[in-house]
Amino acid sequence: MIAVLGGVFIVGVGLQPSTAILIGDFIGILVLLLGGWFGFDKRRFPGPPTTDSAIRDRQHEIMREEEAISGA
């Protein structure tokens, strides 16, 4: 949360009066990015595993991938 607030602060400072005409562009890009996330990528990226069984399954999957890479 602190990182998000810091990022908003930095963007806010960066968009002060000398670049006031870019605010519309910034808002447009923000809307496109949020639309892309909620419209497409959120379905593709399920997020981190949250249940014990999902965590165990992912750990086993990672171990199999590591073994395949190392040739063990």
pTM: 0.43
Q: Tell me: the pLDDT tens digits for 11-46? A: 888 777 766 677 788 889 999 999 988 888 877 887
Domain total of the chain: 1
Domain that holds residue 36: 2-70
Structure tokens at 23: 């605010």
Task: Report the alpha-carbon distance of residue 15 to residue 9 in Å, rounded.
Answer: 10
Structure tokens at 60: 């086993």
